[in-house]
Amino acid sequence: MRQRDKEKSADSFSILALDDDLIITSTIQAYFKRSGFNVDTESDPIKAVERIRSGAYDILLLDYLMTPICGDKVVERIREFNMDLYIILLTGHKSVAPPIKTIRELDIQGYYEKSDRFDQLEMLIESSCKSIRQLRIIREYQAELDGAYKLLENSHYEAIRAMRLMVDAKDQYTRGHSDRVAFYSEQIALRLGYSKSYCEKIRIAGIFHDVGKLGISDDILLKESRLLDEEYEVIKTHPGKGAEILSSVSHFKEIIPAVRHHHERYDGGGYPDGLREFDIPEQARIIAVADSFDAMNSSRRYRKKLDMERTIGQLEEGRGTQFDPVIVDAFLELLTKSGILEEAETIDMVDIF
């Protein structure tokens, strides 16, 4: 082994020699310590497995014939928790060594027939060290790349978060609307018995459901009177714009369908794609109910908010036409809960993660 490689080995690699022949392990230890390796020895295969579990070994030199378990069983146990360890199988009895197929299946990297000379074993260890070094470099690059992607994604997220706040800041009449829609949507999902992770996703989708309105002209978005037909067609583009904005952050991948389709109607008369019934993503169906309720229960430039009796009447009237009837029923049950409307008014979801 070249001197430079010896120096690198001393700094970077550790070996465990496992053999029930103490002469073999002590000889291996002495030989490879001279090459600069940190070499430990073990004669008990059961203890060796536990040492590897708790230690930081790079290479295992493994005798095949041992008691109480042979080398192949040792490898099976190690591979249950460690797939990175390089293993070189040692045997003085070629006839009883495992077949090549078994060696491959156990992910054993080398095979060495015991002899008085360690030239071949040294070459196997040197080859293993090169592979380990390359793997370390790849992992370092991957960690750096993952960090760069995370920074980029975080910057996109911060930009989108700022956009969402800008939408609310534009219009005092809709300020807090997204937070309340997120709250109602999460409560509906909880009422329907969904998991914590599902409810979290729908909460985030509710927060960002109107982010596409950033791409709508203020002349239309802030118009004091009712919209003309052509202006309403422009408004109808905001779900698609929102999906496009969110697509720049992989974290939002799962909520994009909910944002894109929260204005679809259960009877197929909605937008942007005219989906109907269960073709509409369920998160979008939930947000549709929450969004419509909060819109009716809030004042706008061109109208005052509806009273609760009329708002509930509108939801009931839309069962099976505009809205999924199961979701409407779940939400109406929620409205009987004391204090839910007051709780919604105090929600602040600026920091959502």
Residues marked as catalytic: 213
Q: What do you get for the CA distance between the two ends of the chain, in Å?
A: 53
Checking DSSP bridges between strand 59-63 and strand 86-91, what pairing results, if any? Answer: parallel
- Structure tokens that stand for 318 in this block: 């839309």
Cα 195 to the center of its chain, rounded Å: 16
Closest CA to 87 of 160, 95, 98, 96: 98
CA atoms of 11 and 246, how far apart (whole Å): 47
Q: What is the DSSP string of 167-221?
A: HHHH-TTTTTHHHHHHHHHHHHHHHTT--HHHHHHHHHHHHTTTGGGGGS-HHHH
Q: What is the DSSP string of 271-334?
A: SSS---GGGS-HHHHHHHHHHHHHHHTS-BTTBPPPPHHHHHHHHHHTBTTTB-HHHHHHHHHH
Please identify which residue in the block is written with the tokens 């380990």.
Answer: 132
Torsion of CA 174, 221, 155, 202, to 10 degrees: 50
Rounded to 5 degrees, φ, ψ at 135 are -65, -40
CA atoms of 157 and 269, how far apart (whole Å): 32
Cα 267 to the center of its chain, rounded Å: 35
Tell me which DSSP letter residue 97 carries.
S
